[in-house]
């Protein structure tokens, strides 16, 4: 297995007095695509927020060998951890091009991604480069959010429900972008409800239930484990 890009050990998180994460542990190798699956409300988004510093974490979060638990989100981002939230936080009054430029890290030259890469992968963003982000469809805004995060050249990108509410064609686009990210050596932690995309692109999968990891394995192992799917994934 490749060297660990991210190692999470015994992670706990709380909202007020509510104990949401109960000792979550997992790892992601360099350049590896890993999915975190589970029903709504089991703690998947909280896990990402705790890693990013949006929610106070208890436990160990080692990123590229360095302990980052307790850092603020902007400090975490500077270390090379990218985050694409479910809320698609684009700037609606800025143009597509300006939104992408905001993602660039100041003083970091020669990153893996250029504006031209984004336009090549998503011609629709090129066509609408000078249009305000607010006029894009939901799917186009999702692409823009992912591309803006990539412009910061993260070593690992955490993506929360990227295919939520998208048309089947857009879901395929997103799947192709995720595979391209992986090919460029960037690790991915994908939080996703759609099993199909997770099974297709992930090297390994973790399933969460009640704030804990209840399964870890390959896509094939999950496909062969009907009991886990029935208990923790199927609606």
pLDDT tens digits along 32-73: 999 999 988 899 999 999 999 989 999 999 999 999 998 998
Q: Decide: 201 and 183 in contact? Cβ < 8 Å.
A: no
The token pair at 155 is 């070593």
Q: Beta strand 66-67 with 18-29: parallel, antiparallel or unpaired?
A: unpaired
| 124-137: b (≥16 Cβ within 10 Å) or e | bbeebbeebbeebe
Domain of residue 167 covers: 4-232
| Choice between 133 and 193, residue whose per-residue pLDDT is larger | 133
pLDDT, residue 110, reads 65
Q: Up-side HSE of residue 128: CA atoms within 13 Å toward CB?
A: 19
Picking from 227, 220, 235, 209, the residue whose alpha carbon sits closest to that of residue 37 is 209
What CATH number did the domain enclosing 17 receive?
Answer: 3.40.50.300
Q: How far apart are CA 142 and CA 152, in angstroms?
A: 16
**What is the domain count for the chain?**
1
**CA separation, residue 65 to residues 27, 39, 79, 144 (Å):** 12, 31, 11, 30
| 153 has a pLDDT exceeding 80 | yes
> Tokens standing for 129?
């480069």
pLDDT at 106: 64
Closest CA to 57 of 17, 14, 6, 16: 14
Percent composition of the chain: helix, strand, coil (DSSP 3-state, to 5): 35, 30, 35
pLDDT over 70 at 109, yes or no? no
- E strand map for the chain: 4-15, 18-29, 33-37, 57-63, 66-67, 81-84, 156-160, 187-191, 204-209, 212-217
pLDDT at 29: 93
The pLDDT of residue 87 is above 90: no
pLDDT band at 166 (very low <50, low <70, confident <90, very high): confident
Residue 118 pLDDT: 87
Nearest-angstrom CA–CA distance, 222 and 159: 21
Alpha-carbon distance values, 106 to 18, 79, 103, 171, 174 (Å):
38, 13, 9, 31, 27
In whole angstroms, give the CA distance from residue 95 to residue 170: 21
């Amino acid at each position: 297995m490749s060297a660990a890009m991210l190692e999470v050990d015994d992670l706990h998180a709380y909202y007020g007095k509510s104990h949401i994460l109960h000792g979550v542990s997992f790892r992601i190798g360099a350049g590896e695509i890993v999915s975190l699956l589970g029903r709504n409300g089991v703690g998947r988004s909280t896990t990402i927020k705790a890693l990013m510093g949006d929610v106070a974490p208890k436990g160990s979060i080692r990123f590229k060998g360095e302990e980052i638990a307790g850092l603020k989100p902007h400090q975490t981002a500077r270390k090379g951890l990218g985050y694409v939230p479910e809320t698609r936080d684009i700037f609606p009054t800025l143009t597509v091009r300006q939104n992408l430029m905001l993602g660039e890290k100041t003083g970091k030259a020669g990153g893996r991604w250029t504006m031209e890469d984004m336009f090549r992968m998503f011609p629709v963003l090129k066509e609408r480069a000078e249009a305000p982000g607010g006029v894009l469809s939901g799917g186009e805004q999702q692409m823009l959010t992912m591309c803006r995060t990539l412009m910061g050249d993260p070593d690992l990108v955490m993506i929360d429900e990227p295919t939520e509410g998208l048309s089947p064609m857009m879901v395929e686009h997103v799947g192709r972008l995720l595979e391209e990210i992986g090919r460029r050596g960037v690790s991915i932690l994908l939080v996703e409800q759609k099993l199909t995309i997770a099974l297709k692109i992930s090297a390994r999968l973790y399933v969460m239930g009640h704030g804990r990891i209840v399964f870890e394995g390959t896509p094939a192992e999950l496909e062969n484990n009907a009991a886990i799917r029935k208990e923790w994934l199927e609606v």
